[in-house]
């Protein structure tokens, strides 16, 4: 493999951010799996590029003004951990949020085969999505 796993993930995220879906798709294995926690509004497992794009649409439309900023890439072989911060605003309550997230990316033969995101506080994430943060949930 000519590119390191970290470079491939970085290239994928850059292409996706620019809206270059041709490049992004070329870096995903045709049967890529994205595994979100079942308890989230967009939870479950999706596969393939179409599943990926639908999941991204669901994640980014659950909240308003949603953005993810990568803070660090950590790589070992064909595994990359992405440490990032997700920001946005609850559509239900208007409350702004900033939440640390991490993602485990697995690659094989230079293609991304799996993405598994972890949100720092899924309970708060769900409360933000439903507008119930102020109703007994920790800030």
Residue whose tokens read 């911060």: 85
Which pLDDT score is estimated for 61? Answer: 85
pLDDT band at 130 (very low <50, low <70, confident <90, very high): confident
Q: Which residues of 59-80 are buried (b: 16+ CB within 10 A; e: fewer)?
A: bbebbeeeebebeebebeebeb
pLDDT tens figures, 73-121: 999 999 999 999 999 999 888 889 999 999 999 999 999 999 999 999 8
Strand order across the 96-108 sheet: 44-47, 28-36, 111-119, 96-108, 79-90, 63-76
Euclidean distance between CA atoms 137 and 139, whole angstroms: 6
Cβ count near 135 (within 10 Å): 9
Euclidean distance between CA atoms 93 and 98, whole angstroms: 15
Residue 1 in this model has a pLDDT that exceeds 50: no
Which pLDDT score is estimated for 139? Answer: 45
Strands 28-36 and 111-119: parallel
* pTM summary value: 0.86
* Residue-range domain boundaries for the chain: 5-129
Q: What is the mean pLDDT of residues 22-43?
A: 94
Residue 137 in this model has a pLDDT that exceeds 70: no
Residue whose tokens read 């208007």: 94
pLDDT band at 9 (very low <50, low <70, confident <90, very high): very high
CATH of 5-129, one of 3.40.190.10, 3.10.450.50, 3.20.20.70, 3.30.70.1350: 3.10.450.50
The better pLDDT of the pair 129, 135 is held by 129
Of the candidates 58, 24, 19, the residue with the CA atom closest to the CA atom of residue 41: 58
Do 102 and 121 contact (CB within 8 A), yes or no?
Answer: no
Which pLDDT score is estimated for 3? Answer: 62
* 3-class secondary-structure state, position 16: helix
pLDDT tens figures, 37-68: 999 888 899 999 999 999 988 888 888 999 99
Which pLDDT score is estimated for 2? Answer: 39
């Amino acid at each position: 493999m000519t590119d390191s796993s970290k470079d491939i993930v970085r290239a994928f995220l850059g292409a996706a951010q620019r809206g270059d879906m041709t490049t992004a798709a070329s870096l995903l294995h045709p049967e890529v799996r994205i595994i979100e926690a079942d308890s989230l509004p967009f939870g479950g497992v999706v596969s393939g590029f179409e599943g990926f794009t639908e999941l991204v649409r669901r994640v980014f439309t659950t909240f308003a003004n949603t953005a993810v900023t990568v803070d660090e890439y950590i790589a070992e072989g064909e595994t990359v951990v992405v440490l990032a911060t997700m920001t946005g605003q609850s559509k239900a309550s208007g409350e702004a949020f900033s939440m640390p997230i991490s993602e485990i990316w697995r690659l094989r033969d230079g293609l991304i085969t799996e993405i598994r995101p972890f949100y720092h506080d899924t309970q708060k994430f769900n409360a933000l999505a439903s507008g119930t943060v102020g109703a007994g949930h920790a800030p």
